[in-house]
Amino acid sequence: MRKPGRWWTKRSEAFCLHNGVETRNLMIKKPPHTVSKSTVYGFFLLGLFSAIAFRIIIVFQYVKPSWVRPVWYAGVLGYLVFFLYRYSISRKRKRAIKEYELIEKVRANACLSEEEREAVIYLLSSIKKSMEDINYYIIFILSILAIIVDIILSFLL
């Protein structure tokens, strides 16, 4: 006798016995995966570079005005690549939630197949591995510093 809530596999079909009812899940997909740490750090540094570029423009306005435009372009181009990467991560997460119907299955307290569990692990690992919270904090601090530097320089020069 199969136990409720237990999964087993048979010829790439996933079965689950939930509340006494056997269900099949034929949606066997390759689960999404997270990117390498070097990729995460690389894009984090790119975002940090762009954040610094935009905030240092304040200093260049006073010290070296001819550098304002090149630094602005560097910041914009860096952010273009950085936010395209962040957009792709966001879409990948949302696609996994939609394709595996994870919200509906969790709400229904349904059994998850191995592939669905892998998708959940991907989502949680992706959020845990992400450095976006650190990025937001650094941008917050840099913004405050940029305002302070601008106020100081406007009084000094």
Orientation angle between helical segments 114-129 and 68-99, nearest 10 degrees: 160
The alpha carbon torsion through 39, 79, 143, 154 (nearest 10 deg) reads: 140
Tell me the average pLDDT across 64-75.
98
Query: What is the per-residue pLDDT for 157?
Result: 84
Pick left, alpha or beta for residue 24 (phi over 0 → left; psi -120 to 50 → alpha; otherwise beta).
beta
CA distance 142 to 75: 14
CA distance 139 to 143: 6
CA distance 84 to 88: 6
Domain borders along the chain are: 35-156
pTM of the entire predicted model: 0.76
Strands (E) in 2-44, as ranges, are 7-10, 13-18, 21-25
Check if the beta carbon of residue 44 is closer than 8 Å to that of residue 131. Answer: yes
- For the stretch 21-62, pLDDT in tens is 555 554 545 668 999 999 999 999 999 999 999 999 999 999
- For the stretch 49-60, pLDDT in tens is 999 999 999 999
Check if the beta carbon of residue 105 is closer than 8 Å to that of residue 27. Answer: no
